[in-house]
Amino acid sequence: MSDQRAVSPHVLIFPLPLQGPVNCMLKLAELLCLGQIQVTFLNTLHIQERLRNCTGAEVYFKRYSNFRFDTVPDGLPEENPRTADEIWNLLQSIDAVAVPIFRCMVTSGVYGPGSENPVTCIIADGIFTFAAGIAGEIGVPLLYFDTISPCGLWTYLCLPKLIEAGEFPFKDDNLDEIIRNAPGMEGIIRRRDLPSFYRTNDVNHVTIQLVLKEDKHIPLAQGLIFNTFEELEAPILSQMLNVCPNIYAVGPLHAHLKTRLAAETGPEAQPTITSNSIWREDSSCISWLDTQPSKSVIYVSIGSLAVITKDQLFEIWHGLVNSGSRFLWVRRPGSVTGLDSETEEIPSELSRGTKERGYIVTWAPQDEVLGHPAIGGFLTHSGWNSTLESIVEGKPMICWPYFVDQQVNSRYVGEVWKLGLDMKDTCDRVVVEKMIRELMESRKNEFLERADEMAKLAKASVSEGGSSYADLDRLIDDIKFMNIPTTWN
């Protein structure tokens, strides 16, 4: 690495090409740019085209002379929906098509060691196990950034221990059995709270093997970056130190970026932040929220990847209407299977209740929605970005998880952080109505008080002197001065 020290720090960021990771990593990229580090952000062509069509992100980032987008193909046909059930195909295609191009870029191409602008550090999604070998080839530090929750990732990393202890595969159908061999989670996690991939009896299942491969590669990185804050996940972060001694907890990143931009523009100015959405946002919902009473609306969204059935749609819809609560509902195109929007007959009570108290959009500016005073709660799929955005704005949650880390997040929201209710493994109108009434009426003050306490901790963490603020400063310094030790020097 000695020949690299005279070179300007240049980070290449390679996110998993999905809405959540791209959104999160773009915020980190902007923070690094503010820290005077050169950043190349490597998107797939599909993601870049979606950003171009749905946002002003490309124009926005031109304000940073030390930032550039670059692209690689993901290898999938354009008509592929790239929803949750297509992720395995996406990963296989990236390995076959994108990885060879990426390797060429950083070994012998435009960002290679012999180029005018060599990469000095790689930040890659933790699922990209190929990154360790490529970083080793060019002798630069690798930082893995798992954009899921640390508590979720920890259940991935515990998989070998659970297999060894005989806790996985499950020996029966009792999903309420407490997991014993997940250090730091004793008495908290049940079988049903583990990521959805655990619900297989086949250790050789492709997803299980992928997780085991990731488990072996995560410790090869010189550091791990997390979108969380110490006060939220200290017990899990301390466990992570056994995997990698160099941890950077720099979240909540969306709030952290606002803090740093405000410091750049001055206290009187309102910093402008771009949307990183790959779905076109419908801001008409903000005007509707403006007409609603304070904390009277429950916001409903299942995120950018989850897919639900027609029956689940109607159970949620009946529950929302029957609860009597006002609601703002995001219904993403293609998110409901078996629904024929042209001929489907909507029960009159649902149409009437929605007209009276509801508003439905195809996509919403979520950060702005959650920050709106009319929002009193969030019925969420428990994606990590959504969870953190809700925490920062002090909005209690009803959690209906779909996959990946979401089962773990929902358990922590309900059982550990006491920020809401866990509705996993059920989709019944009676339960939906009951939980909305509980969150928005009978336990409203209890949940709002707890959510307000956590929001204050989140905001303090990204303020000067806070834990995440200090970790980001340390990350920037380590990248600038190449203080990250590599095992492949």
Q: Please, which pLDDT band fits residue 2 given cuts at 50, 70 and 90?
A: very low
Q: Please, which pLDDT band fits residue 199 given cuts at 50, 70 and 90?
A: very high
Q: Residue 353: give its domain's CATH number.
A: 3.40.50.2000
Q: Is residue 186 part of a domain?
A: no
Q: Is residue 85 part of a domain?
A: yes
Mean pLDDT of 437-462: 98
Q: Tell me: the pLDDT tens digits for 97-134?
A: 999 999 999 999 999 999 999 999 999 999 999 999 99
Does 20 share its domain with 117?
yes
Q: Is residue 39 part of a domain?
A: yes
Q: Decide: 397 and 382 in contact? Cβ < 8 Å.
A: yes
Q: Is residue 260 part of a domain?
A: yes
pLDDT surpasses 70 at 180: yes
Give the number of domains in the chain. Answer: 2
Report residue 377: phi and psi, to 5°. -170, 170
Does 291 share its domain with 244?
no
Q: Tell me: the pLDDT tens digits for 161-177?
A: 999 999 999 999 999 99
Question: Quick one: 422 exposed, middle or buried, by C-beta within 10 A (0-12, 13-18, 19+)?
Answer: buried
Which residues are 328's β-sheet partners?
A: 299, 359
Q: Is residue 198 part of a domain?
A: no
Query: What's the pLDDT at 6?
Result: 57
Does 52 share its domain with 139?
yes
d(CA 127, CA 21) in angstroms, rounded, equals 11
Query: What's the pLDDT at 269?
Result: 56
Does 429 share its domain with 365?
yes
State which H helix or E strand residue 68 sits in.
Answer: strand 67-72
Does 301 share its domain with 391?
yes
Q: Is residue 166 part of a domain?
A: no
Does 314 share its domain with 340?
yes
Does 470 share its domain with 375?
no
Query: Residue 364's domain spans which residues?
Result: 283-441
Q: Is residue 3 part of a domain?
A: no
Neighbours of 452 (CB within 10 A): 13
Residue type, 226: F
Q: Is residue 232 part of a domain?
A: yes
Q: Which is more confident, 460 or 305?
A: 460
Q: Tell me: the pLDDT tens digits for 324-366?
A: 999 999 999 888 888 776 557 889 999 999 999 999 999 999 9
- 420: which 2 tokens? 């809401």
Does 231 share its domain with 353?
no
Phi/psi zone of residue 442: left (φ > 0), alpha (ψ -120 to 50 degrees), beta? alpha
Query: What's the pLDDT at 193?
Result: 98
Q: Cα 410 vs. chain centroid, distance in angstroms?
A: 14
